[in-house]
Amino acid sequence: MSDFLQHFRPEEQPFVEMVDEWLLQAVHRHQRRLTDFLDPRKQYIVESMANRYSEVSAFFFGGYEGAERKRGLIVPSYDHVNEADFSISFLEIHYSQKGKQLEHRDFLGAFLGLGIKREKFGDILLAERCQVVIAAEMKDYITLYLNQVHRQSVTISMITKDDLVIPSISLKEISITVSSLRVDAIASEVYHLSRSKVLSPIRAGHLKVNWKIIDNPSEPVSQGDVISLRGFGRFHILGIEGKTKKGKIRLRVGRVN
């Protein structure tokens, strides 16, 4: 296990050790383990660790195809799994469309403000309405206590998976030139911040590459990487398109609208 831990960052090691305990329970005690909602990085950790044991399997479900945040289910390899085993519910939040246009962060803040851990709810879907994927064990608490979002009164109704309206992810493509593929250089250009303004949040652990915290400003990025900085949104590296005559690197970036 100690050799395996070195593949992960120090702050990830408690989660890695917990996952290993779950896996051993499935191997030796034939026990199932349903996780809370995991981001893609943690899903990767669970899946890669489960692959070390032939006696167990790991499955993931976030309520709909293409979900980002998913619950994991670790089971003995002979076990059968269906969607109901993930204990997921769906709710819709109703509010007046005449007031402030509520955003993703408003709904996220309302849940967290009730003391609900981020791991207890999955994706927040904003199309013409707000729908949230939640852990089934939280539905009574949420329907009872969630009555306001950003000072707007709201009501809650439970819906089914078939009622979900999945928003399409819209990326605004932009072209930038950078001196290097360092993450601080690229983030600075995309977010229109000076390099000095970017360094502090990166070193504080507020930047993620592929859902993994990166606190080294010189970390290189690659085509296909997904980068986010707390409070500034997320962008994708769509293409690395050569160099300019002055030796700068041309990048095609998709910023999430």
Tens of pLDDT along 53-78?
999 999 999 999 999 999 999 999 99
Q: Cβ distance 27 to 53 under 8 Å?
A: yes
Domain with CATH 3.30.1370.160 in the chain: 2-81
Structure confidence at residue 50 (pLDDT): 95
pLDDT digits over 141-192, tens only? 999 999 999 889 999 999 999 999 998 877 899 999 999 999 999 999 999 9
Domain with CATH 3.10.290.10 in the chain: 171-256
Dist CA 214 CA 208 (whole Å): 5
Mean pLDDT of 39-58: 93
| Confidence at 136, pLDDT banded by 50, 70, 90 | very high
CATH hierarchy code of domain 2-81: 3.30.1370.160
Structure confidence at residue 100 (pLDDT): 72
Mean pLDDT of 224-240: 92
Buried b (16+ CB within 10 A) or exposed e, 94-127: ebeeeeeebeeebbeebbeeeebeeeebbbbbbe
**Strand order through the sheet with 121-126:** 121-126, 130-135, 88-95, 152-159, 148-149
Structure confidence at residue 99 (pLDDT): 67
Q: Which of 42-46, 61-65, 126-130, 189-193 has the lowest mean pLDDT?
A: 126-130
Whether CATH 3.10.290.10 fits 171-256? yes
Structure confidence at residue 2 (pLDDT): 56
Structure confidence at residue 24 (pLDDT): 94
Q: Cβ distance 134 to 121 under 8 Å?
A: yes
Dist CA 129 CA 156 (whole Å): 12
End-to-end CA distance of the chain: give it in Å, rounded.
Answer: 41
Dist CA 120 CA 143 (whole Å): 14
- Identify which has the larger pLDDT, 129 or 139: 139
Domain with CATH 3.30.70.330 in the chain: 88-163
Dist CA 177 CA 186 (whole Å): 9
Ranges assigned E (strand) in 113-194: 121-126, 130-135, 148-149, 152-159, 171-178
Please give the CATH topology (third level) of the domain spanning 88-163. Answer: Alpha-Beta Plaits (3.30.70)
